[in-house]
Structure 1
């Protein structure tokens, strides 16, 4: 049910909008644009932070749900933004397909009870361990529909790769965290699910040795689909047809024969990478949790700097992603990150952290200009993305 314009303009306490359709969403956003009423955008509520503007009206897209079209033979799927991610994954799995970028489930780490949605995944560019091989969520986007900060409905992209022409707004929206527009529909490319997988485990190694293992393995043609490190153990995942996996395992074992190697079988391997994907090893901690994006070869030095602050750290993406759990000050974490980018994911209890680091002046000016284009009144998720 649409909120009356007067309510959106003058509600004394934060309200919640739950539009049922794209048209209803468009009308509500147009009303809030006219009154400069801030909106806190949420999908299924699994990653919701404290509203950056305390008086912001929360808006959820969870009711704008459902699969629009799925063509298994074309490896393409179109669905509305509020569609539960579990529903999408089950639909693809029934046809032997999957989302190649392996999106994590934040509920484990954040202790939240929401339902991950397709729109939330795209808005935050959620990508898991397979990103180092398959690319990120944005690399599999074919097109989007969204409502901008004026309430206008905008469509960009197509249903198949050959129809994606012109300015690629889909990739601009992916990872913008709802600051440029509110997604209502997305078109995605799926990929066949791997028939088999195994993992090579290297116990008792240092971060330097782990990154050395990753560098050697990822430089081969053996299609490593996961490279992670935690608590003294490094892991390499290989996936594909059963015979391919066996061949790659033997070749990688021969290449890395200077290290003791344990082979993790199919069932245990799948559970291991679900846990690594969801950062389950930091789920029970009360410490703040950070994502730090670095050049993989810089990872050992950054881990040493973080170790001096206390806490724990792990690696993913072959060293390109550091997960850090600790209660050091934000400035100290970002200094330890060096040239990397440190983003808080879970604040410590009773604290809050700005969601993104300060931007360089040139980047900040460009960001502000883009946001003014799509959201001139600045009502969409103010306080996000350095705004």
Structure 2
């Protein structure tokens, strides 16, 4: 099923006699395994409004992410939340859609400084489980009336409705960027260094750690962006904070961009055998949690608040981790444990009530959430 208009989509949903697996480009699909039919949104494509001066873009949900990024790049702008490209990690192909990015709330390394996808989402249009067209939000950040369905749809993974249009705030691309690199730190020391950088006055836009860098040596990365003079000054000042370590500065924009694409797309764990688990936690807890998992490979992002871990196929990371202040999601693998962590009873009851309100027939992406 591939509707070419919002009206056609609404009619398809009203007439649906079986559960639907809602996909955009199919690059980051998780869940929906209980559906008998695929509903693909790629026919709902095209940028309907772009006002560079107002930092606003409106696009139909099936518009490819690459088209959006090319359009923004031509005006010296970007999606500040740096959406992850999951194709290499999950072994998928195709082209990610902007609706899929919003539905997954896909947010990369810059989230620690700029915020997540949902923080840049201004408005949405979607079709609910009864075939009703719903609109919420607008083209300005202060447009909040009634229920904040804009935030609710971000990260809902198609379980509440099928997005047809999204409005996003965009930002200018920086004039320059640099990366302060610290070599040889173990995991605990690296988390401490990232915390030191993030609490400094130098406005870090990325903080990650590779336990095994390109040459096998542990490598901690701190990114700075902005005006050229400011970036140069802040990078030198930041490097001086770690003078006792092996520190160097990369200020080549091509090299820096490539390093952070590596982190954004989890490239060190691509082309590997096993399950990928995503652990969200307090940065200070991250090294001890990794110690419990004993992963085949891992990396840290968001200053240690996000860990990607490669585990043997079928491993239940939640069982190994036990109770901790955070949660673990299985991003890749076919284990018997649910993809998403179980919710506390009150939250689960609220989630069921929301899904019942927007999808009373339970036809959207069954099995995605429990």
TM-score exceeds 0.5: yes
Residue in 1 that maps onto 2:214: none
Equivalent of residue 297 in structure 2, options 292, 312, 315: 312
Per-residue deviation, residues 37-71 of structure 1 (Å, max 9, x unmatched)? 21110001112357421x52110101100001000
In structure 2, distance between residues paired with 1:167 and 1:116: 28
The 5 Å alignment of 1:112-151 reads 112-151=92-131
Structure 1 gap segments, 5+ residues each: 1-16
Kindly report the root-mean-square deviation, in angstroms, between the aligned alpha carbons of the 2 structures: 1.5
Question: 2-side partners of 1:342 and 1:334: how far apart?
Answer: 10
Per the alignment, residue 341 of structure 2 pairs with 357
Deviation at 1:251, TM superposition (A): 1.2
Matched with 1:325 is 310
Larger relative contact order (C-alpha < 8 A, sep ≥ 6)?
2
Are 2:317 and 2:328, in contact at CA under 8 Å, matched by a contact in 1?
A: no
Residues 1:347 and 2:328 are matched in the alignment: no
Give a deviation string over 1:80-117, Cα, whole Å, max 9, x none: 00000000011111111000000011111112111100
Q: Which residue of 1 aligns with 2:359?
A: 375
Once residues 175 and 290 of structure 1 are traced to their aligned partners in structure 2, the CA distance between those partners, rounded to angstroms, is: 18
Match of 2:248 in 1: 262
Report if aligned partners of 1:46, 1:116 keep a CA contact under 8 Å in 2: yes
Distance verdict in 2 for CA 1:86–1:235, change over 3 Å: same
* Aligned counterparts of 1:218 and 1:128: Cα–Cα separation in 2: 16
1:98–1:334 Cα change, 3 Å: farther
Alignment of 1:1-387 (within 5 A): 17-32=1-16, 35=17, 37-49=18-30, 51-53=32-34, 56-231=36-211, 232-266=218-252, 267-307=254-294, 310-327=295-312, 329-336=314-321, 338-347=324-333, 354-386=338-370
**1:315 & 1:165 partners in 2: Cα distance?**
38
Supply the distance in 2 between the matched residues of 1:300 and 1:114 (Cα, whole angstroms): 35
CA distance in 2, matches of 1:331, 1:244: 46
Question: Residue deviations 1:254-306, cap 9 Å, x none?
Answer: 22222210212322111010111000111110111111111111111111112
What is the CA–CA distance in structure 2 between the aligned matches of 1:67 and 1:329, rounded to whole Å?
42
Query: Are 2:6 and 2:164, in contact at CA under 8 Å, matched by a contact in 1?
Result: yes
Distance in 2 (alpha carbons) for counterparts of 1:161 and 1:50: 31
Q: Which moved more, 1:21-30 or 1:298-307?
A: 298-307
Distance 1:367 1:51 in 2: 17
- Relative distance call for 1:49 and 1:132 in structure 2 (3 A) is closer
SS in 2 for 1:227: strand
Please list every run of 5 or more consecutive structure 2 residues that lacks an aligned counterpart in the other structure: 212-217
Question: Which SS does the other structure have where 2:285 is aligned?
Answer: helix
SS in 2 for 1:261: strand
How many residue pairs match? The answer is 362
Change (3 A) 1:340 1:334: farther
**What TM-score comes out, normalization by structure 1 length?**
0.90
Query: Per-residue displacement from partner, 1:164-206 (whole Å, max 9, x unpaired)?
Result: 3332101000001000111000000000101111111111101
Task: Deviation per CA, 1:334-364: give whole Å up to 9, x if none.
Answer: 542633211111116xx56532122221111
Within 2, Cα distance between the matches of 1:50 and 1:134?
Answer: 28
